[in-house]
Chains A and B, each alone.
Chain A
């Protein structure tokens, strides 16, 4: 049975109940929620009060069922529960939980719908509810789309409140004291006489009590944790080398493996000669895997060395061999036949662009690798009809389905132990590395095996952000932007990625134009058209997905038009913007950067704005034009995520996302030769280093907007704000990334 078939069947009964119940009426009904996965492995005296809280004799464990990729989601989700449950910060223990449909993500699917985040109409809201229902149906326990916090904001607080309520009831039953006279504090129920009953001691009784259907949440004014700087729960471990990543797992009898797969992705392997590798010191076995070879040895380095000795006869890539050839395919995709969407079409663009004085430009963006610092790895053990997998993943249910399919075991015999990961940026939305590890385990059962990729394997087997091109035309009149016609052509991330999960996609791919079609600007004649380039290299979600490219494309040419109109960029963006929260963000960044003041000789300021994942973000970049090249001095960022749950982590995420956006814009690209990525390691794919990192000032604007995540939205404006600043400082307009193809950087 195919993977989707398996998943759908496993979740169908749960799913239909859910769709018929909670969602339609907007009531959070516990009984109709998907089965609580904690109930099945409970020991004596343990209670699982909701899918998010487990209590036993040693205390409370909060299940944070999203992958912590560095964004700090485990801490924030735990804080949501802890706030209502009333436990002390230092007593918080978290567990990523086992894969379960109960941990569906109701927000992530909504991001792919053709409804702009600024649309709060009934139709838009209904479409989003359908997104939630579909996600529940499929049990998509996914981490992505900056969705973890908005998805969890209510449901995990409710889980904490419900658990507290049950504990209070248990204490009332035991003591005979009416519930309303009992209080809680730091993991204990306190009686009016001052007796202290720990939650742990109440676990067995609490397990017998049905959680309430309705709970009252604390008003924000009473919050102890939320809205205040929190110490990340993993910060000491991550500062002492004691955090355990997948690559750090050690087990008795463990062996070590690596793989070499065809770097011409999908080209397959025609044959290989492993005679030298098999004789190398420490090598245990050389085994075939799909499209490549695996090497098992007694340590990782020996596996790496042996893998290099294998002579592989690779097949050719099923796509054009060079970047130049691929860009030709992109350039020839601006056709009616390839048109994928025209979600914005206001005024009469064709008529407005009849006159002389039409401004035209062409822009280009490259493939980009995720390249998280921890290379892909997984620990697997296939033994006695049971498969255990220790790894980090953003798609746990799909990983289990893949592992079941490859191993031939029933999904119930596949046990996934989710770990934190050393970065991801979307890379772990793919499960290729798990598939390989399970293939190796099948060839060498009975032992724990740690499979680790070399950096070279990682760089040459990424599922990159797609390349793309844009063709723009525009016109200005009386010092105003009058017409903007934007055409974007790139391969479909959604079709490529969802296709690998064996799921159908339908309708246009919003990712092709995300961050362009949905911007809150009113231009008299304004049109955004997406063209779907046929799949070339398989592509995937890369931090901020479609907006990562469109932020640059849309802002870059808009800045050109504004300059052509001879007006101030910030003033014109504010004038064009109809969306109040976005306008406030623009005004704030203007104030922070003292926009309009003298920036000094050989210096320049650039501004850009992108609304993505529902979050308006404006950035101003200041650069100096030095004899050694461009130096990025300072960045100002204003963003509106509604309420900020942890100001420290918020600032850290914004700064990281800005450095991510700038670093890739300055010097990163993945180019192809003979079907193989040419950048094999960090010597050729650097990003920014500490000496190049600007100071970054961050301000959160709360306009009372719905709560949103911040992991991705600051990425899209960074590249165009930098390019616009370079234009301001040098007069040089750069229309292609990376920028260092056209100008030097310090």
Chain B
């Protein structure tokens, strides 16, 4: 793993002209950000009435996430602390309005006017103290407080984040809840270290019973370790990778060990399972 950019320099320094250009010309990054933004929009759960909504893109960068908003027919305001990233957004003629600003200073937006907010790969930056005057807790508080106020009641905010640690994820979540938000974590691809993606889904105003958008596991073999219930929030593990993961077995099939384990599991549940023998998990001849 390359080291995390937020440890290298403050965002407005790290995302300078050359990094902003590099970031936006990488087809891999463009594709990943588009996919994350698409998923975040889905989790925003806007009414399906074909009426465009007025959204915020926090840490909008060069406009990759905003473009997904436009493609879905909505209007947006993008906020970013890096002038270089915003310049690239201008060059790319994004449709949203851009603001140079620091989310840690709070959003200067009137109460109740925004229909929803997304933030893709940006909020983890807030947990750093880049200047001696920076106190991450105060900055998180200012940010979530102002975000809560500017959203209309019932609106959602969806953050895709790369928390550096469990403590950091908790810090972010705690400040969101303290600001008045309800909601919790949605995890896509929980079993893949590479593809695992976390979304903080927050609801403003109405009390959510649960945020249940993650695609639930349905099989019985999910007694692994994905129940990381946070104290306050709701954790929802979604199962987007399950089918692919099942296919990712060697050509010889899943192997004898796997079959034996599954049979044992099933036996423990009280099912009627054939006894193990030397034929167990053997491949049949192609002409059986």
Q: Do A and B come from one complex?
A: no
Residues of A within 8 A of B (CB): none
Residues of B within 8 A of A (CB): none
